[in-house]
């Protein structure tokens, strides 16, 4: 039986945890890691996917209107078009797929 509290939190229009949510943490972690670390192709593919998912959540559910607009604007970048259909831009650029 699903946890009723979890169901209620998931059904809310806005995230109850911002700014202490995993989406915010994900964006901050990758903001620090991408320019400072030498990452494998697999790590870059994971970064692309996790950043896309975090931006999508922030754009849709964030309590902060400023952050929702910021995420929505970022998602307008054509870079994310392949993620919308379940493919990776990094993989396409590095492996030609």
In this predicted structure, what is the pLDDT of residue 31? 93
71 has a pLDDT exceeding 70: yes
> Count H helices, E strands: the chain?
6, 0
As given in the structure block, the two tokens for residue 71 are 């995420």
The 3-state DSSP class for residue 45 equals helix
pLDDT digits (tens, 9 = 90+) for 16-64: 888 999 999 999 999 999 988 899 999 999 999 999 999 999 999 999 9
3 has a pLDDT exceeding 90: no
Residue 28: closest CA among 63, 82, 73, 67: 67
In this predicted structure, what is the pLDDT of residue 22? 95
Domain with 54, as residue range(s), is 4-95
Number of domains in the chain: 1
97 has a pLDDT exceeding 60: no
């Amino acid at each position: 039986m699903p946890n009723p509290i979890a169901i209620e939190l998931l059904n809310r229009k806005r995230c109850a945890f911002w700014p202490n949510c995993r989406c915010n943490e994900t964006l901050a972690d990758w903001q620090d890691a991408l320019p400072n670390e030498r990452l494998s192709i697999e790590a870059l593919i994971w970064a692309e996917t996790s950043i896309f998912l975090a931006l999508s959540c922030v754009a849709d559910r964030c309590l902060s209107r400023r952050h929702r607009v910021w995420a929505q604007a970022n998602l307008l970048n054509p870079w994310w078009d392949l993620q919308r259909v379940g493919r990776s831009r990094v993989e396409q650029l590095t492996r030609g797929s």
